Each structure stands twice: as structure tokens, then as C-alpha cells.
Amino acid sequence: MNSGDAPPTVPRDGSPAPVTEAAVEAALRCVVDPELGADIVELGMVTAIRLPAPGAVEVEVALTVAGCPLRTQLSEDVRGHVGALAGVETVTVSTGVMDADRRSAVMARARRLAQDPAPRTDIPATARIVAVASGKGGVGKSSVTVNLAVALARRGLTVGVLDADIWGFSVPRLLGLSGEIEARAKKMVPLELPVGSGLLRVLSMGFLADEETAIMWRGLVLNRAVQQFLEDVHWGALDYFLIDMPPGTGDIQMGLARMLPRTEVLVVTTPALAAQKVAARAADMARKGYLRVAGVVENMSAFVCEHGTSYALFGEGGGDRLAAEIGVPLVARIPLHPSVAAGGDAGAPVALDDGQPLAGVFADMAETVVTSIAPTLAMDGCSARLLERVEAAVAAGDHPSGTASQVVSGSSGSSPTT
């Protein structure tokens, strides 16, 4: 988001301000081409923005080739980000095909990006980024992050986990991980934890500081630490990148919105009304940063004793109310169960244990994430990507540092896909 862009404000009468083209364009700058890592506005893919009626937005997006495999994903991202603007009721997305001149400009932009030696972050452009956030502490956000990561890895996926709660890190203990962070080519290497046929790559301040040591840093230093965890780390190939956010709406949250505008946000609440209202602030902040709020997770739902009696120890209905209030789906309802705390204390997440009923809850949650919230991207069949690689392979003969075989295999960098 550009520093001069501001989301729509809400007038004193409580009704949303009229949506403007500038606000829509700012939201579209958070729709990132997953192969290039650049937004569709910068790439020149947005050909029209229209506001035909109050609350209605129409966006035209030009693709490099007809039938691009990413067409559906880009359309969903446009609807998600623009639809998050206050006052927007309907978003219509139409896709066309670029003419030769516009396609050449996108190809040129792709080549410049591939030659850039200093990418903004080291997160793969194809990884789906999911931030797990809450308005307050104590709602089990870290245990949700860890168990979701384990459930995704059990599906054979490679999942990066960033513990962005610099002050209150807990991911190392929850996963039973310890050890020193090594450096390779002046970049940190995350600790790895195999999970079935999948893999977790984990980074936390807990690997750099004592568990009992207080981290007494102010906002700018905290933000810089998180930036280094993104930029100065060998994350490698990832399918998903989960961020365990600190509670609240402070510097780290604002910094991540700028550094990772393609992030999807899951908001965690407990059933209590008070927790629901505080969690709504986290959703509001995400949307003011033009991030897509993808869903709500209700943690610590009713406790069911061994005799089958259900006890709503922390109230009930908070997840449903929050999801309805902010207009997103309720992704999961996680019962209160002692196995979650016991597994966290032992460094053995409950999602690992098929004998625990909650393992199935997290498996279902991972299924929802993979199939509807943030599905993985399939780009191998995109004609534009293959065309760019052919062009790069021909050009490689003019550069001693590269060979045609390296370029065709994809080792030369990113290329356009849409």
C-alpha cells in the first residue's frame, strides 16, 4: 500500500463513505501475481475500474493468454480485496487478453524483476501466506497456528512457520523444537521438523533468546526484527507460510501489511462476547491495510466431559457472531480440551495424534484452507510462463553466467504466468 493511500472512512452517521476509484486501485495493489511477486496494478493488468452504482464495483483484468490457469485465483483475489472495502457490496471481475504491446511490456517487467538481486522478501511468490491473528492474548492463537501447520504438513505440504510474536514467543515449545539458528551466505536457516511426508520450516525469536529472558524492544526494533525474519532467511520452497501474529493492532501488524500485501488473515476468537468484540478490531485493522480477512476460527468452544455433557465454559456463539459481523466464513470451531494444553507443554501438537478427536478437527480445518480459503496454486500449464522460459533460454546464450538448460528449468528466476 502506498503511504498516501487511505481506506474509506466512516461518516459520523455510521454509514460507509462512498467507494472511490483510488481506494479500489489501492486495494488492487494487494493482488499479487503469484509467479512474479508484483501487483497487478504495477504490471498494467488492470484495464478498467468502474463504479456503476453505490456499493457496486467492476474491475477488468487483462491476462497475457486466454485460459490462463491463474485466472480463477486472480479473480478471487480481486473480489476478496476489493470486497473488503467499506461500502462495497458487489464486485464483478471480467478478464480479457492483452494485445501484443501490453504483453511485451509485461514480459519486460518480468525480466527486470528476475534480474533484481534484492527481492523485498525471501518468501516464495507461489506460497500462500496465512496470518493467524487475534485482538487480544490468551485466545489460543499460537496453538491454532501450530496445529494448523502440522495438519497441513501431514498432507505432504511444506509449511513455513514464522513466530512473529517477538515478545511472547511460544512456537518452539509448542513444537518441541530447540537449537541454534545457523547462517548460510549471510542468511538464517530455519529449523526443520519432518511431519509425515511433509515438512515444517520454523523461525522464532525463541531460537535466539532464552525462554525466560524478556525482550524489551520498542516498535521500530520489533518491526525490523520481523523484516529480517522475512528477508534474511533461507525459507526455500514452500506451499504455505503461516505467521503467528502477536495480539493487538500495533507496529508488527502494520509492518506485515506493507511487507506482505498478499496475506490472508484468519482471526481467532473465543466464544465470549468480549473476546469477539476485541477480535473484530484485528479484522478491521487487516482490512484497513487492504489485507483479505479469509475467515474466523472459534477456539475454546464448549467442553464435552467424558459422560457426554457439554459445558460452555467461555460462553457461546462468539465465532458465529464475529463471522456474521465481518462477513466471512467460520472456518473451524475448536472445542476446549485438555489435550491441546498437554500437547503444547510436551512439544507434541494434538494434530499429530490420530487418537485424539481434536486431530480430526484440525485436519478438517486444513482441508478447508487448502480447498477454499487459500488453495495452492497450479501454474505449470500456463502458456505465458513457457513462452517466457523459451525467450530466456534463447537470451541465455548471450550471457556467460547462464545456460539455456538452467533457464528452461526455471533456475533463472520468475516469469509471468497470467
The pLDDT tens digits for 364-408 are 999 999 988 888 765 554 544 444 455 555 555 554 444 333 333
Nine cell digits for residue 397: 546464450
Pair 170, 146 in one domain:
yes
Burial class from Cβ neighbours inside 10 Å (0-12, 13-18, 19+) for residue 325 reads: middle
Residue 413 in any domain: the answer is no
Q: Is residue 351 part of a domain?
A: yes
pTM of the model: 0.69
Average pLDDT of the chain, as a whole number: 79
Q: Which residues contact 411 (CB under 8 A, 6 or more apart)?
A: none
Last residue of a domain, one of 119, 143, 160: 119
Q: Is residue 402 part of a domain?
A: no
Q: Are 94 and 231 contained in the same domain?
A: no
pLDDT digits (tens, 9 = 90+) for 136-167: 878 889 999 999 999 999 999 999 999 988 77
Is 113 inside a domain boundary? yes
Q: Which helix (H) or strand (E) holds 259?
A: helix 251-259
Same domain, 277 and 349: yes
Q: Please, which pLDDT band fits residue 299 given cuts at 50, 70 and 90?
A: very high
Q: Are both 203 and 177 inside the same structural domain? A: yes
Of 63, 94, 119, the residue that ends a domain is: 119
SS3 106: helix
**CA nearest neighbour of 263 among 373, 179, 145:** 373
Query: For residue 228, what is the domain's CATH number?
Result: 3.40.50.300
DSSP code for 350: G
CA distances for 382 relative to 5, 262, 322, 414, 415, angstroms: 33, 21, 39, 13, 11
Mode of pairing for the β-strands spanning 198-204 and 240-244: unpaired
Last residue of a domain, one of 61, 92, 119: 119
Number of domains in the chain: 2
Q: Verify that 242 and 142 share a domain, yes or no.
A: yes
Give the residue numbers spanning the domain of 36: 21-119
The span from the CA of 243 to the CA of 304, in Å, is 30
SS3 98: coil
**Looking at residue 109, which CATH number applies to its domain?**
3.30.300.130
Say yes or no: 150 and 255 in one domain.
yes
Considering the domain boundaries, does residue 274 fall inside one?
yes
DSSP E strands, 190-272: 191-195, 198-204, 240-244, 264-269
Q: Are residues 100 and 137 in the same domain?
A: no
Whether residues 185 and 252 share a domain: the answer is yes
Burial of 234 (0-12, 13-18, 19+ CB in 10 A): middle
Task: Report if residue 30 sits inside a domain.
Answer: yes
